[in-house]
């Protein structure tokens, strides 16, 4: 695997960046590194990849001029809380966007792993975990300078955010800084501050929702809200409520 460091991003010392330049899948590479014992804080990133992975059985269309980043963590918390790291990641990347897009840009979150600018999806997030709880990999893919040509409802940050000067490196630096801050707040204060940020940019109660799980189950109905753990609650019938936990969505 070719690893280069042509323009090392300025990251907090908690991270050990690994830049890939051969176009392989960043998420897959990070998972292999985690299985081989890579240290916590190892951050694998690239601006292009040929084998982007999304949810099981689906590819992530990965145009060049993107930001593809995976972070290896060694969780010292209960597996039931693993999925909450996804919302920490969404909030962190969303705030990285907010610092660089033009004022009044519509920035929104779609539970639990999508970020939208001006109404179109520009980023997605995934979690992979070891069955023995030894590691957790948080991966984010961002369309920065180009939108996927084959995806109708997708855009890119530079266009939708109105700022052609946004770069993968600048987003990575902002994301890494925000993630460290919000991960520490999550560890110290729990989900309250994370949910405060997430709910501000999420659909409001009563909005029609549809979530498809990897089991092919489809949950649809008016949104009730997010509970104190970040789980989604949807009204699926008269006096019937379906709660989808973050771990259930990510198959953890």
pLDDT (tens digit, 9 = 90+) per residue, 170-182? 999 999 999 999 9
Residues 40 and 110 in one domain: yes
- For residues 233 and 182, state if they share a domain: no
Identify whether the C-beta of residue 153 lies closer than 8 Å to the C-beta of residue 167. no
Q: Which pLDDT score is estimated for 53?
A: 53
Pairing of strands 16-20, 42-46: parallel
Per the DSSP assignment, residues forming a β-bridge with 20 are 3
Judged against a pLDDT cut of 80, whether residue 206 lies above it is answered with: yes
Which residues is 160 bridged to in the sheet?
none
Do 27 and 101 belong to one domain?
Answer: yes
- Alpha-carbon radius of gyration of the chain: 17
Q: Using one digit for the tens of pLDDT, what is the confidence trace for 7-64?
A: 678 999 999 999 987 667 899 999 999 999 999 999 999 998 766 555 545 555 666 7
Residues 95, 42, single domain; the answer is yes
Rounded to whole angstroms, how far apart are CA atoms 173 and 11?
A: 6
- Beta-strand relationship, 114-117 and 232-237: unpaired
Q: How far apart are CA 149 and CA 61, in angstroms?
A: 9
What is the predicted pLDDT for the residue at 153? 80
Whether the pLDDT of residue 159 is over 60: the answer is: yes
Q: Residue 166's Cα: distance from chain center in Å? A: 18
Cα separation of 79 and 56, whole Å? Answer: 20
Same domain, 101 and 54: yes
> How far is residue 18's CA from residue 201's CA, in Å, rounded to a whole number?
32
Same domain, 50 and 83: yes
CATH number reported for the structural domain that contains residue 55 in this entry: 3.30.930.10
| Residues 134 and 231 occupy one common structural domain | no
Residue 247 predicted with pLDDT over 60 = yes
Q: By C-alpha distance, which of 53, 211, 32, 22 is closest to 125? A: 53
What digits encode the pLDDT tens for the residues 99-132? 999 999 999 999 999 999 999 999 999 999 999 9
State which residues form the domain around 91.
3-200
Count structural domains, the chain.
Answer: 2
Burial of 26 (0-12, 13-18, 19+ CB in 10 A): buried
Q: Is 156 helix (H, G, I), strand (E, B) or coil?
A: coil
- Condensed to tens digits (0 to 9), the pLDDT of residues 56-88 reads 455 556 667 899 999 999 999 999 999 999 999
Percentage of the chain beyond pLDDT 90 is 77
pLDDT of 198 over the 80 cut: yes
């Amino acid at each position: 695997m070719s690893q280069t460091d042509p323009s090392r991003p300025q990251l907090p010392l908690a991270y050990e960046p690994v830049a890939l330049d051969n176009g392989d899948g960043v998420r897959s590479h990070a998972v292999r590194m985690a299985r081989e014992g890579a240290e916590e804080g190892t951050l694998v990133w690239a601006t292009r990849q040929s084998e982007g992975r999304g949810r099981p059985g689906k590819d992530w269309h990965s145009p060049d001029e993107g930001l593809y980043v995976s972070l290896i963590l060694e969780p010292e918390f209960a597996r039931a809380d693993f999925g909450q790291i996804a919302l920490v990641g969404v909030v962190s990347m969303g705030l990285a966007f907010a610092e660089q897009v033009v004022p009044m840009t519509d920035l929104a979150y779609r539970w639990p792993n999508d970020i939208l600018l001006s109404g179109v999806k520009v980023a997605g997030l995934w979690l992979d975990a070891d069955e023995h709880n030894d590691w957790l990999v948080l991966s984010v893919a961002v369309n920065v300078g180009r939108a996927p040509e084959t995806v109708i409802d997708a855009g890119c940050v530079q266009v939708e955010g109105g700022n052609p000067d946004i770069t993968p490196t600048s987003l990575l630096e902002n994301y890494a800084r925000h993630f460290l801050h919000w991960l520490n707040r999550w560890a110290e204060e729990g989900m309250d501050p994370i949910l405060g940020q997430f709910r501000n940019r999420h659909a409001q109660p009563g909005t029609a929702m549809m979530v498809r799980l990897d089991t092919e189950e489809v949950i649809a109905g008016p949104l009730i809200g997010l509970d104190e753990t970040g789980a989604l609650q949807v009204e699926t019938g008269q006096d019937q409520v379906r709660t989808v936990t973050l771990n259930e969505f990510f198959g953890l």
